[in-house]
Structure 1
Amino acid sequence: MMADAEPILLSETRGHIRLLTINRPERMNSLSPELSDELIKAFVDAGADPDVRAIVLTAVGDRAFCAGADLKARAQEDTEGKPFQPLLSRVQRYVFEVVYETVKPTIAALNGSAVAGGMELALACDMRVAAEHALMGLPEAKRGKGAHFANVMLPRMIPSGIAFEMLYLGEYINMDDARHWGLVNRVVPRGEALNEAMRMAEMLCENAPVSLRRMKETAVRANGLPVPVALRLNEGISPYSSEDRVEGVRAYVEKRKPVWRGR
């Protein structure tokens, strides 16, 4: 009898943190359709779990966080004559969109390089902590592919000229350059990305979950809106009328640690 296959996405909960770990090191943690589906389910589940206050995404090994789409699998499907389904024309939701719109704070721990769809997956998270040996890049123009999510997001995150250089040339950048342009929050020694990401997640979990959710939802939905419209957004539970706001003020006055209820 054959042993059960290893799961392609590992999930565990540490306190109020949901840790998701991509487990395809033999394929550079590349995105297969099955892995994309698992990521969608995992982020939706974590977003709906009232005990989860932050999500950390990482991968097995130290070579690659994610190498993007599984091109070997796609080449086989092309050989077999299977049509390519555009990401926004499938039954499943768009995985980068799901990660980006998750209402909980998200941190990508880049244990290794994040390229193509792997870089897009990292960009979909709120913050990124990277190992110093990692590389980032979007080689889609060299493969005849599209980088649709990066086309939209990258010019919003860094100067447009640098974004177009990365998109047009398809060259990789090191973590010094990534930090300089604000693509990663912190650069740490090899093997320390997850530890630092978890430390950051633990720190943010000390803060009011109602406030964190309001910050995340407003920031995501306000992106690209005119300021007068964005200022009138009222996304999710209002922290101003929440129990957490009352508790936070009381705890400050009483010089004690607040006990958050998330409501």
Structure 2
Amino acid sequence: MFAPAIPDPDASRLPPLIPSPAPADALVGSSPPNPDGRVCEKTCCEPLAASPCLDEALDVCLALDAGNPLTRVAAGPASMNGFAIGHLIHHVRRRGILTADTAPRDLLREINNRVRRSGEGELRNRIQVIRALREMRLVPEDVADRGVKPAGTTPCLRSVAQMMEETSQLPFDRIISPSREKNIVKARFEVIWILRHVCGLSLTVIGRHAGGRDHTTVLNAVNKIRLQMQGDAGYREAMAALCEQADLLGVSKNRKILTMQSALRE
């Protein structure tokens, strides 16, 4: 007989939040298609915010909205985070994932405002974007984070394993072993957290990749990491940085492929 399912706290419903009204000078709509296929400029030279990452994200999103090939935009000068955020915003709008049609500039401005109010400073990664979209009720509850991200941009298990080996200075087979040594357990729990919150894997699948553990053990690890993050601001920041690093592994690999395709076509 199977053990009764244990509810995952991550799936709990967040209280509804009302988006702040868009500023009066916010732009609506996007750039017109560019017939010669070049990356379009923004419709306004006014910086979106103090963060260059946001302006890069807006450039990327508007260029894709205007019909520029993804391969060409990926080969552009935007930073990895700027490209990742802009690509995601374009993706959720183009695929009809958002529950409301909002212009990219307005959307990025409101997301950035929410990140600022949370005390995290300026918007810098797409993990923050997805969390803000959910707080704003712009993403349906039945759409998983993995489905919000563009195809091919979620990091694979091998990439996460290599990253954790470098971070913890432990071989991955020891991390997922039955060992109860403190440093090994810490690394194992962090791997589980990343596979859950960055890769979007189910508890059962994570358990299979984490040494054949059952879903209750995996959920226990997730809960312990959450409690430690709630009580330790330094650890919370360290885990946020680790998750951002893991998320960019998938983006970087996908962008490299797109850039190679762009070079082959030229």
**TM-score, with structure 1 as normaliser:** 0.28
**TM-score, with structure 2 as normaliser:** 0.28
Larger helix fraction of residues: 2
The one of the two structures with greater contact order (alpha-carbon pairs below 8 A, sep at least 6) is 2
